[in-house]
Amino acid sequence: MQHSIPIDSLGPQGEIMAQAVQTCVHCGFCLPTCPTYRLLGEEMDSPRGRIYLMKETLEGSVTLEESAPFIDRCLGCLACVPACPSGVPYGDLLTSFRAHAEPQRSDRPASQRMQRLLIRQTLPYAGRFRAAARAGRLGKRLSALLPDRLRTMVALLPDELPQAAPLPDFYPAQGTRRARVALLVGCVQQTLAPEINWATLRVLSRNGVEVLIPRGQGCCGALSMHIGQADQARDLARANLATFPNDVDAVVTNAAGCGSGMHEYPVLFKGLAEEAQAAAFAGKALDISVFLHRLGLSAPPPLAQPLRVAYHDACHLANAQGVRSEPRQLLSHIPNLTLLEIPDGELCCGSAGAYNLEQPEIAHQLGERKARNILTTGADAIVTGNIGCMTQIAAHLTRLGQPLPLWHTVQVLDRAYAGVMRNA
């Protein structure tokens, strides 16, 4: 079914939205894959319903105030994308629509505007976020006195922050050099789990990879894109485009959300001077699991004791990047490790960038469901590929009184190489 979208006033982003809307045939295959539709049972809280709302809003048949609550409730998990027989680029549509709509939003209450200001002024900046996280930990003791939205934010912070672990500019390969890459270090991850980057350096080095850590790099812009702040996202992306070298085999990322964000650079810069550069950069961006799988992993030694791990698919790895088998295959190279699948594993954990901050009730339901499903596996630990998922799942396992070790895929490989898997 073809629709007439008034794209003249919307420019290149309008073309992206029109193409996505025109591709949808409203078959409904997306409905059972959508976490919010499964929880709320409302057509407008499904991908198909949201596509209709976005179309009608662009055409002026529905006001932005009417459609906005349903669009806001979308996790952007993209579980609908692999389920769609028509290949609707729902992620491109959602990102472009939010960027188009956000400057026109006048319906957000003051508390939400303040929360969004805090998100965009702290999370994408590692130094600011670390300072805010320290303050937030103190706020935990006074959480009963905080406004609801601030209480939600501080509740997700760990009780203790790890010490800062500055990275070198360069990390050499062990033995014969097989590849040369640049590493995106991330922003939130550098504060909450800096050891992931160090594990990444050690594993890459062990496999003959020379690593550059460019100074001047920053947030990939994904968090800004999630909340419709396209101008901020472009500023952050431009800094990375100017900073990362071209003469590397890959730009490696170890956070699913960052990898997904970098792959969206061509959409972000559609019709702008940087479009070709953004496309080339996105083409070099690879998740650490994909890079190691393509390179060929040096086999780790057997674990001293059997270990059962449940692998959680981060949505922005599995759905946005189509990366499902590579982490599992890497983990399968570790002798004495048993990989377990999580029931209903394709359902989002509720993290989804800043979603668990902005939509805490839905995120809580999804997080608790994910934690309970993990516990049914009887796993000794959980493994995933995204810091947001790690934070969300850890919080809900703790709430259930059953915390478990929670590692990034590359941390498991690093521990296996070092023979210290049980020292969580």
Which segment of 54-68, 100-114, 180-194 scores lowest on mean pLDDT? 100-114
Across residues 13-20, what is the average pLDDT? Answer: 83
Q: One fold for both 11-104 and 299-418? A: no
Q: Which of the four pLDDT bands, split at 50, 70 and 90, describes residue 65? A: very high
Lowest-confidence segment of 32-41, 329-338, 385-394, 415-424 by average pLDDT: 415-424
- At 3 the pLDDT is 47
Mean per-residue pLDDT, 415-419: 93
The CA-atom distances, in angstroms, between 194 and each of 5, 113, 165, 166, 200 are 46, 30, 6, 8, 10
What are the extents of the domains in the chain? 11-104, 299-418
What class does CATH assign to 299-418?
alpha beta
Element (H, E) at 280: helix 275-284
How confident is the model over 340-368, as pLDDT tens digits? 999 999 999 999 988 988 999 999 999 99
Alpha-helical (H) ranges within 285-348 are 288-295, 315-318, 325-332
Residues linked to residue 381 through DSSP beta bridges, in sequence order? 309
- Calculate ∠ Cα 381-383-384, nearest 5°: 155
Question: In this model, does residue 2 exceed pLDDT 50?
Answer: no
Q: Do the beta carbons of residue 161 and residue 377 sit within 8 Å? A: no
| pLDDT bucket at 151, cuts 50 / 70 / 90 | low
Average pLDDT of 295-316? 96
Compute the residue count for the chain: 424
* Mean pLDDT score of the chain: 91
- The string of pLDDT tens digits covering residues 83-134 is 999 999 999 999 999 999 999 988 888 888 888 888 889 888 888 888 877 7
> In the CATH hierarchy, which fold is given to the domain comprising 11-104?
Fumarate Reductase Iron-sulfur Protein; Chain B, domain 2 (1.10.1060)
Residue-level pLDDT at 165: 86
Q: Give the SS3 label for residue 268.
A: helix
